[in-house]
Chains A and B, each alone.
Chain A
């Protein structure tokens, strides 16, 4: 128990998630079952220590819902795009490996951005440089430097969206200043 204790507030999202999984696996959302699940979740979180994920302690639902919808729309659009490319362009498609430097230096934020980028078809994280928080993406159908720049802007926009949802106040301030400039 050498590691410093993390507060209940920081642990809460993990516990809620564990209870949700418990209920889903039993396919039973009655209060008794959920209570037992919560008990187990606390026990598991106390006994099996993982390196604490450093949450910023804020979560903005108002930004999260539009972000999720936007994400779905992007996935649909990109899926159709990749489908078209596979059917029409096929073997002649040109792609690129692009380096994108992110603003945030938090592992959680870099991971979340990488996840969202990978989930949208047509771009994929090949390599991560943790010290400079740079993502190296492989992107489909990138022919010109203009398109490279466009992709970079898009990735940084996704990161900005994630920061608005759960970034630290300092990162939020950076975003505000960028928007004002």
Chain B
């Protein structure tokens, strides 16, 4: 073993150790966010974090530890799957949360969707009234 190789090894080990600890901290931050944020929609922001950055850091540390090139595409595919699925489920939950009024209005500084929703509901009601009316 020449000393240079072990130095590189040390650097890789340290980097991956830092990545692992920071990635785990992302999970902890998500849990703190879940406990401390006031309503569903703001909690969702905390929840997407370990799934994106945390997983990226942890997968990168696996790649660094394995030290073979073919691991990287595999890890990339795993990460991209996550990138494709996380926003969709977040959107579904967020949409359901908004529609079922799971947010505190007093904690919003502006709401540009509310007027649109009210208008849509109003026109739906008008249409329903028109359809119900006998000629």
Contacts and interface: CB of A to CB of B under 8 A. Distances in A.
Interface residues of A, number: 47
Given A83-B29, A118-B87, A126-B95, A140 B45 contact: yes
A86 B107 contact: no
A79 B26 contact: yes
A29 B73 contact: yes
Interface in A66-90: 72, 75-76, 79, 82-83, 85-87, 90
Given A23-B73, A93-B37, A124 B44 contact: yes
A90 B35 CA distance: 9
A116 to B, nearest CB: 8
Nearest to A118: B87
B110 A148 contact: yes
Interface of A: 20-21, 23-25, 27-29, 72, 75-76, 79, 82-83, 85-87, 90-99, 114-115, 118-119, 121-127, 129, 136, 138, 140, 142-145, 148
Given A24-B77, A83-B49, A93-B107, 16 more contacts: A29-B70, A85-B33, A86-B46, A91-B37, A95-B107, A96-B109, A97-B113, A119-B48, A122-B45, A123-B45, A124-B90, A124-B94, A125-B90, A125-B91, A126-B91, A145-B110
26 contacts: A29-B73, A72-B56, A75-B52, A75-B53, A83-B33, A83-B49, A86-B29, A86-B37, A86-B46, A87-B29, A93-B37, A93-B42, A93-B107, A96-B108, A96-B111, A97-B98, A97-B112, A99-B113, A118-B48, A118-B86, A121-B46, A126-B41, A126-B95, A140-B42, A140-B45, A142-B110
